Structure 1
Amino acid sequence: MGLLTKKDLEDRGAYEYTWTTTLGDNPHITGKTDSGRVNRKEGYEVLDLINDIAKKFDFRDKESGFKLEDMIHTNTDVMREKVKGWIVANWETFKAK
């Protein structure tokens, strides 16, 4: 299980998400992303990215996960790897909501 769950993001309510696939997404992949892009409106993509980064850096508290959520929504890159790189470069100085 990842650091955050769908319920955590829904309970926080900081952003609105859809939890279904959209045109061009693989409808059989709802827990992991199916492209190198991040769609910030799709909850499962944001959740997967949060949990991927949290696992890599061994984050254990939900507040770090929520900071990641804010950073994902602040960054304007659409490519997953670029978003991840920006988060790593800006983690220490970024002020979460």
Structure 2
Amino acid sequence: MANFKRSDLTLIYSWTASVENDNAKITGEPDSTLLSRHEGYEVLPFLNRYMTAKGWTTLSTFNKLERSLRNDLPSDVRSHANVKKWLNNNFES
């Protein structure tokens, strides 16, 4: 199981929820939930779950995924399900 920590992230993230519907304590995974690429409390658990599902364990893959989410993922791909689908089609470990 991937269990990367905040200190393993290489990019800068916000770690505070700014509105009522943006609750930092909710880190579950409804596939319809929208992923904010700039919120660390959303990106970190998403990446850990995705890597666990793929059986990937290396920090280098974690960081490549992190950069791909921020730099390559189209802005209109937002739900967890669609982000996973995009990664499955566009990312190689």
TM value normalised by structure 2: 0.79
Check conservation: 2:2, 2:56, Cα contact below 8 A: no
Q: Distance in 1 between matches of 2:17 and 2:39?
A: 8
Match of 2:67 in 1: 70
Q: 1:4 to 1:21 in 2, by over 3 A?
A: same
Q: Extract unaligned runs of 5+ from structure 2.
A: none
Identity of aligned residues (%): 29
Alignment partner for residue 56 of structure 2, among 53, 59, 68?
Answer: 59
Alpha carbons 2:37, 2:69 under 8 Å: kept: yes
**1:63 and 1:34 mapped to 2: Cα distance?**
24
Mapping of 1:1-97 within 5 angstroms? 2-9=2-9, 12=10, 15-23=11-19, 24-29=21-26, 32-33=27-28, 36-73=33-70, 74-76=72-74, 77-92=77-92
Shift of 1:26: 2.5
Higher relative contact order (CA 8 A, sep 6+): 2
Provide the TM-score with structure 1 as the length reference. 0.76
- State the number of aligned residues: 87
Alpha carbons of structure 1 residues 68 and 3: separation in structure 2 relative to 1, 3 Å: farther
Secondary structure in structure 2 of the residue aligned to 1:2: coil
